[in-house]
Amino acid sequence: MKELPLADVYRLIEPGPVVLLSTRSRQGRSNVMTMTWHMMVAFTPPTIACIVSSNDLSFFALRQSKECVIAIPAVGLADKVVKVGNCSGRDTDKFATAWLTPLPAERVSAPLIAECFANLECRVVDTRLVNKYNLFVLEVLKAWVDPGQPKPKTLHHIGNGAFVVDGEVIHLESSMP
């Protein structure tokens, strides 16, 4: 074994695919950010925890509106995902800059993203860890998938601008859903 710098630990515990988080402020302004720090916390109802930096414009919209959309892009959107992550919504219309199409959601005011293969309409159900860790707990209210994107491959961030793409699927016996 060789010692690993503690600053690199996050690269080992990659939480899942890179997603896009869309929000809409009370003033009606939509924004989208790239997010990698999230995880499932319950099956039913589907509940997701995510970390949104208090430096991000999306943090304030999420805290204010208590709702968002988690849009899951396939690997073909990698350039757009990185473009969204490399600019600020304070001075940029990220939807226009990345050529992403906002669509109306059914249960929340934040927009779905047409180019993504899945969209999850969410509401904030727990903010007890926001002040300390910027951690929001979200309940998925409605889920959408694009049947025109069968078997999408997702993008996973492993640090310092490096990404991996979903690989081979294997099936093993499991008692979990």
What's the whole-model pTM score?
0.94
How does pLDDT run across 7-16, given as a tens digit for each residue?
A: 888 777 876 8
Query: Is the pLDDT assigned to residue 23 strictly greater than 90?
Result: yes
Mean pLDDT in residue range 90-98: 95
Mean pLDDT in residue range 56-60: 96
3-state helix, strand, coil in the chain (%, to 5): 20, 35, 45
| Burial class (CB within 10 angstroms; exposed 0-12, middle 13-18, buried 19+) of 98 | buried
Cα separation of the two ends of the chain: 35
